[in-house]
Amino acid sequence: CARPEKAVMDAWSPTELLVYLQNLPRALPQADCAWLDGTLGLTGRGNYEILVEWLTIAAGSGYEPAFPRIREVLLRVGRMKYLRPLYSALGATPATRALAREIFAQASKGYHGLSRRVVQGVLDKHPA
């Protein structure tokens, strides 16, 4: 991925960072994920717009250092805006499908009924 200088990235507004992340491929090499996370502290972000955009990339990339945070977000948040991209990324990658199903089994009780059905549909598209 394109690696802007840290000084340039440090000057970005949250919106600029979000646009940068939105324009990255959904799956990146591990080295790029580690660089992004280390440089920008993405896994520890509190802004859910940025965090979920990053975690979607991390899930699609199989970037294991972000998996605990993905689990935490999916257990804490019930908004489809955040659930669908994360479960879609986890479900689309054979290496993370079991993780998606495990988290859903634990978290689904806390989701709204419609959210449960939508996420189940996302997971059903990707057989175990």
What pLDDT digit, counting tens, does each position of 79-123 carry? 999 999 999 999 998 999 999 999 999 999 999 999 999 999 999
Predicted confidence (pLDDT) per residue in 4-14, tens digit: 998 999 999 99
* Assigned CATH for 6-124: 1.25.40.320
65: pLDDT confidence band, cut at 50, 70 and 90? very high
Domain extents for the chain? 6-124
Closest CA to 119 of 68, 77, 58: 77
Placement of tokens 């280390």 in the chain: 38
CB proximity list for 91: less than 8 A, separation 6 or greater? 97, 100, 122, 123, 125, 126
- Give dist(CA 100, CA 128) in Å, integer: 10
Predicted confidence (pLDDT) per residue in 34-48, tens digit: 999 999 999 999 999
pLDDT at 53: 98
Average pLDDT, the chain: 95
- Could you count the other beta carbons within 10 Å of the beta carbon of residue 96? 23
